[in-house]
């Protein structure tokens, strides 16, 4: 038994080759923008003993909807911009156009040059996922 291989018309080869090359080429990298949130966060940093700093502040919801399961993350940042410690606080609910207080502790690091604080997680009221 012999097997004969036939090729299709040559007019299909070039577009197929081009498509295969385009799929194989890496896509250009785009700068990622931070996720847009309806929140503004203000904070203060104060010593909380020898091992931690306390970060207190307020989350302001600028949206016309309530949010629940709001969490705030605070990061200690060194002079090179690297995170050297972090803390997370559960804020709970933040009403539409309202504010909510938070307080958390972050390990005190001698190399910390600044602190970055922001809302790291939230859900619009009425859009909770069941387990």
What is the residue-level pLDDT of the chain in tens, covering all 131 positions? 544 444 555 554 444 333 333 333 333 333 333 457 899 999 999 999 899 999 999 999 999 999 999 999 999 999 999 999 999 999 999 999 999 999 999 999 999 999 999 999 999 987 655 55
Instruction: Map residue 16 onto helix, strand or coil.
Output: helix
pTM of the model: 0.68
Question: Quick one: which of 68, 74, 109 has its CA closest to 89?
Answer: 74
pLDDT reported for residue 18? 36
pLDDT reported for residue 5? 47
Backbone angles phi, psi at 24, to 5 degrees: -80, -25
């Amino acid at each position: 038994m012999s097997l004969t291989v036939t090729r299709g018309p040559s007019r299909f080869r070039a577009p197929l080759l081009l498509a295969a090359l385009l799929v194989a080429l890496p896509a250009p990298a785009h700068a990622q923008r931070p996720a847009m949130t309806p929140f503004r966060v203000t904070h203060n940093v104060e010593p909380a003993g020898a091992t931690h700093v306390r970060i207190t502040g307020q989350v302001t919801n600028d949206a016309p909807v309530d949010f629940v399961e709001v969490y705030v993350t605070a990061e200690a940042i060194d002079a090179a911009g690297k995170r050297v410690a972090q803390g997370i606080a559960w804020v709970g609910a933040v009403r539409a156009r309202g504010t909510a207080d938070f307080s958390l502790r972050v390990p005190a690091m001698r190399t910390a040059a600044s602190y970055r604080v922001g809302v790291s997680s939230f859900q619009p009221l009425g859009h909770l996922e069941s387990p």
